[in-house]
Amino acid sequence: MHRRAVFPTPSETMPLQMETIGFNHDQEPIHRPEGYPFFHWLQTLEGEGELIVQGKAFKLPERSGVLLHPHAQHRYFAKSATWKTYYVTFTGSLATNLAIDLHGTFTDKIQWDRNDDEITSHIEHMLQLAESGTDASGWKSSAELYRFLTLLKTNGTKNNLPSLTRRLERVQQLLDWLEIEYANPELGLAMMAEQLDVGERQMNERFRELFGQTAYAYLIQLRLRKAKEWLPSRPEWTVRQIGEAVGFRDASHFVATFRQKEGMTPEKYRRLHGFSPL
């Protein structure tokens, strides 16, 4: 059975607006020489299909899908006796920026692990919401679509690399430890790498891949974040006391680092967020 829901045109512009969503129990061949006018997500639930977009071919086995950009020439067809698919098409004032920020400018296949059903469960949830007719404004569906796009980012993987969630799991023990030990001024790369039982170079590679910075730069950022929490909430503490409490050896280093990263002194940050000394 082909389940399909079409959304009404909203009375106001939405950041993300679903056009259609559906499930096809036996996907028919589709050929669109001029592409589709909106973003189009297509994923395989069962069987296998093949999608050719602007001359590039993608095999789509179970737990994989492709996000097609508007007007991208494409065609797709079954490669197995039965090809069951989910799809969703969408637009919106922020659709292009979100799609590019989360998934890049070019179409690529996204896959996810066999033991991870969250992506499929969520698109089924969105379809059931659409079928229920309980979201007349479309804002619930818009929020659910944003959640779905972020799930593709966190749980999906490209080019056989581990997903963002799996990569975070490899450093989570260290991140949890840093939340406890960040105030130790003796803390350095060797102690951090020991928590992961890897070398300092490998640890820094993991941090650059995840956060775009070294592990030590992450630690400095964590210390500054704690300082930004405490500056307004602990008005009885001096700037020197807060700097020392979050792991800086002396006040001048704390103030210089804070000014470099935040564009203002700790005192100015404190006044900006509500505390003014009498």
Q: Which domain holds residue 107?
A: 3-161
Q: What is the pLDDT of residue 115?
A: 77
Would you say residue 259 lies in a domain? Answer: yes
Share of the chain above pLDDT 70, in %: 99
Residue 277's pLDDT band, with cuts at 50, 70 and 90, is low
Give whole-number Cα distances, 18 to 128, 148, 175, 214, in Å: 14, 12, 37, 39
Q: Which CATH number covers residue 140? A: 2.60.120.280
Same domain membership, residue 114 and residue 208: no
Same domain membership, residue 188 and residue 91: no
- Which residue among 132, 161, 190 closes a domain? 161
Q: What is the pLDDT of residue 278?
A: 44
Would you say residue 278 lies in a domain? Answer: no
Residue 47 exposure: Cα atoms within 13 Å on the Cβ side: 17
- Per-residue pLDDT reduced to its tens digit, 52-88: 998 899 999 999 999 999 999 999 999 999 999 999 9
Distance separating alpha carbons of residues 71 and 28, to the nearest angstrom: 20
Q: What is the pLDDT of residue 70?
A: 96
Q: What is the radius of gyration, based on Cα positions, of the chain?
A: 24
- Per-residue pLDDT reduced to its tens digit, 170-219: 899 999 999 999 999 999 999 999 999 999 999 999 999 899 999 999 99
pTM here?
A: 0.79
Average pLDDT, the chain: 93
Distance separating alpha carbons of residues 21 and 124, to the nearest angstrom: 9
- Which residue among 161, 191, 218 closes a domain? 161
Candidate from 99-108, 153-162, 180-189 with smallest mean pLDDT: 153-162
Same domain membership, residue 63 and residue 131: yes
- For the chain, the domain total comes to 2
Q: What is the pLDDT of residue 61?
A: 96
19, 89 Cβ separation under 8 angstroms: yes
